[in-house]
Amino acid sequence: MPKIGSHVSFSDKGLLNAAEEAISYGSSTFMIYTGAPQNTRRKPIETQFIEEGKALMDKHGIHEIVVHAPYIINLGSYKEDTFKLAVRFLQEEIRRTDYLGVRNIVLHPGAYTDKDAEYGIARIADGLNEVLAGVKDTQVNIALETMAGKGTEIGRSFEEIAAIMDKVADNHKLTVCMDTCHIHDAGYDIVNDLDGVLDHFDRVVGLSKLGVIHLNDSKNARGASKDRHAPVGSGWIGFQAMNNVARHEKLQHLPMILETPWIGKEDKSQRPMYEAEIALLSGNLSERFGGDFLDHVERIDHLLTKKDIHYRDFVLNTWDLLKSDAKAKKADGREPMERLYDIIHEERLLPELTEEQINHRLTVWFAGQEALKND
């Protein structure tokens, strides 16, 4: 069974809160930031309920988790103060990650802004050399994340990742985080040719270098270079392709992390669809949710079939409409899940359920009959 979990918050009680949230989703792994990803403010890692969190993880069989480095780190910057901050702050985050006993910290490689890609690759490699030289006493790997190609970010191709690694002296301390949304948006065809993509990665970088998988659907067609995540099944990649990633024999040993967004009305009490997504991809849907839940999915399917709505056609047609018709997007920019929720709400089907609960069931409906084959 694959190790699948979600990005969770590292809040008041640190690792304990994170473990509790991950377990509530049915996770077998999870990913955290050790503080806010947008700033440098950090509480001492020793105060973050580490032993309590690890005890809870052990109780639930969670043995490997992932840390994500803050977004504000940019090793590709030509600005000396930004570069120095990135080096120093990443070293601090690696030490915090090492204290947790976590072996991979995921890093967005960086952006070259006013320079060019060649400069960016060299600058990032210089930064990694400096970072690693200062944390030789740690056991942490830096997992360079594959990027979608928006703006001037580096890592939009396997070749760019390999070029960085080739310039780093201690590159045995470098791994790769492969993000499904990012590589799809960068142009790699994981929907129709996953094996070909993995073979390409193996030739250029090496599959042995993979340390983490990010499981995200995409709101954009392949090659769009946009980086806009969608819930599993409700984007251009689709459930079947993502399930192929989760169950691929060359990837199953890796921690797989969902970073999928909440879709719907602004309600802070409601959560993303992680629980349903994890159950779908882990193949324990009926065990997790029970017969009534699956009966609700059947009722939704019956209603939408009567309206001649097919799950994949509806998803792709909606994204096509939003992409091609600017007026339609401005007038009604609702995404596939939002539109389907409105239909169910207007028909008063399952009126006793919240929007979060309806969206869990829609997540399963988006997967089609394939969802039940793994159960």
Residue numbering of the annotated binding site for Zn(2+):
68, 108, 145, 179, 182, 214, 227, 229, 259
Binding-site residue set: 68, 108, 145, 179, 182, 214, 227, 229, 259
CA distance 231 to 315: 11
Distance CA 182, CA 297 (A): 30
Terminal Cα distance for the chain, rounded: 12
d(C-alpha 91, C-alpha 82), whole Å: 14
Task: Give the span between the Cα atoms of 35 and 77, in whole angstroms.
Answer: 22
How buried is 88 (Cβ within 10 angstroms: 0-12 exposed, 13-18 middle, 19+ buried)? middle
Choose among 238, 288, 268, 335: nearest CA to 28: 288
User: Which tokens is 20 given?
Assistant: 């509790």
> Is there a contact between 116 and 154 (Cβ–Cβ < 8 Å)?
no
C-beta separation of 268 from 237 below 8 A: no
Two tokens, residue 103: 């072996």
Tokens 């090793």 belong to which residue? 75
Q: Is 114 helix (H, G, I), strand (E, B) or coil?
A: coil
Rounded Cα–Cα distance for residues 289 and 159 (Å): 43
Query: In 3D, which of 182, 253, 183, 176 has the Cα closest to residue 209?
Result: 176
